[in-house]
Amino acid sequence: MANVKRSAHPHVKYTVADSLVRYAEYLEYGDVHIKVDKKTGLRAIVAIHNLNRGPAIGGCRIATYETVDRAIEDALRLGYMMSYKAAINNLPHGGAKAVIIKPKVIKDREALFEKFGEFVNDLGGRYLTAVDSGTSPADMDIISRRTPFVTCTTKLGGDSDPSPLTAFGVRRAIEASVKFKLGQESLEGIHVAIQGAGHVGYYLAKELHERGAKLTMTDINQVSLQRCVEEFGASVCAPDDIYHVEADVFAPCALGAVLNLRTINQLRVPIVAGSANNQLSHSHYGTLMHERGILYSPDFLINAGGLIHVAVCYAHGDMKNSVDQIDHIYNTVYDIYERSQHEDVATNVIAERIAKERLG
């Protein structure tokens, strides 16, 4: 039986399903598909947000969820953001996300992903699946036995780590930011405070170090942090102190929702540009930074290197083409900065407007 919650009106009741439908409507969703297969243990959701620009593209994650509604909510939220990433970077795709609710015991992983491949194939090319949290190129190879609508297979270069490509896009955005805000063409001597020394944080530090930037970094993983100290000469600080660092750029490359009233008030930088998803705990904090003269580089634009790569490789199988398109993030973000300045509107608002216009 569905859980029933009471609304502010005592005579009105609504279910979890009602809430999810309202959430999908709010995000302007196209459709949501659910597949259940008792034999393999597959319980999967594919949330297709928008098809106006072309087939929806987005990763397939397999994860443990407390409830099915949490899994559906996750798919809806992530698929919506994929549409924005694809649109702002002018890819011929809508956005989607697939979620497989991880069984307590996976009896046969190949059978599970073959069945998921059949699910994707039944959608008739409206959804292209890819690697995400908990899945691998080997899983994509299994899916490809049942459908051609899959990327990130070993044949398409899925064995390569997308983190360097994501870091490359963020570095190009930082270069555009430094030119626009500070009037400097190079990163020589630019001080960047990086929050997170994991996959993308590490490669971003490498890119910046090679171009003469000074680094201050933090991470709860001391091994990852020490690697950056040894290889790039990075200074370190405690996690909570990263917001106080006086630098040219703050680069959030770890958790989302780190930019809120408290942390923004602590910032001592003129630029914020990093790889983390959903950095703003609320969209109006972009306006707050704009009012305080902090240039914010919209996360869903500049961290899309991995998405651009898988989309371009699916269409052309061409690594150079994907790198060229990721490089174009520089021009896209610089144009947004100019429009933001001209209209006196926050950069994230401008970016969201462009994405919505392109989604139709």
Residues labelled catalytic: 97
One-letter amino acid of 165: L
Question: What is the C-alpha to C-alpha distance for residues 251 and 190, in angstroms, rounded to an integer?
Answer: 13
Cα distances (Å, whole numbers) of residue 22 to 17, 19, 96: 9, 5, 18
Tokens read off for 3:
């859980």
Query: String of b and e for 275-297 (b: at least 16 CB within 10 Å)?
Result: bbeebbbeeebbbbbbeeebbbb
Distance, CA of 232 to chain centre: 26
95 and 83 Cβ atoms separated by less than 8 Å: yes
Strand 42-48 with 31-37, pairing: antiparallel
Cα distances (Å, whole numbers) of residue 69 to 101, 199, 230: 11, 30, 45
How many residues comprise the chain? 360
Residue 176 — left, alpha, or beta (φ > 0 → left; ψ -120 to 50 → alpha)?
alpha
Tokens read off for 260:
């809120």
